[in-house]
Amino acid sequence: MSEQYVVGISDRKVAIAPDSIVTYALGSCVGVALYDVKTRIGGLAHIMLPDSKMLPYAEQGRMKFADTGIEDMVDEMISRGADRGGLKAKIAGGADMFKISDGSRLASIGCRNVASVKSALSRLGIQLVAEDVGRDYGRTLYFDLTTGGVKIQSLGKGTKEI
C-alpha cells in the first residue's frame, strides 16, 4: 500500500516507491525533488531561503535554507540506501510574487532561492535534469517515486510534467 507524504514549508520527506510526496504553495520557495532511479528512493525539500548565513540562528532551522537543507536531505537519502552518484534533481518554484505599484519588481527572493539551490546541487555533484522556475505564480509539486516523475500544478496555468 502506498502513502502520500506532505512536505511543509522548511521541511523535507524521504521515501521509497511506491510512495509519493507533495508540497503545496511554492511561491518564492523552491521545491527540490531528488531521485535515485536504481533504488527508487526520493526526497523532496521545500526551501524557503537561499543561505543559512542570512540568520544567526540558522542551525535551528537547517531545512529553511538551500545550502544546508539539500545537504541534509542527501545525507538522509544515502543513509536509507540511495547512491549519491545516481541522484538527479528536478526543481520548481522560485516565483517573483510581488510587484511594486509602478509595475517594477522587488529584489526577488525567488530568483535568489533558485540560484542558491542550483549552486548547492552543483557543489554536491547532483545533476539538475528539469526545472519549472520563476515567473509570477505559485505551484504545487507532486513527486511520484515509482517513476521519478514530477507534476507541477498551477492555478490558471494547468498541469505539466517536468
In the chain, where are the structural domains located?
4-161
Q: How far apart are CA 41 and CA 160, in angstroms?
A: 22
Antiparallel, parallel or unpaired: β 30-36 and 127-133: unpaired
Tell me: pLDDT of 55 over 90.
no
Cell of 34: 531528488
> Is 111 a residue of the active site?
no
Inter-axis angle of helices 66-79 and 109-123, nearest 10: 40
For residue 56, what pLDDT is reported?
65
The active-site residue out of 29, 34, 48, 109 is 29
pTM listed for this prediction? 0.91
CATH number of 4-161: 3.30.1330.200
Report residue 92's pLDDT band, with 50, 70 and 90 as the boundaries.
Answer: very high
Between CA 129 and CA 38 the distance in angstroms is 16
- Mean per-residue pLDDT, 123-132: 98
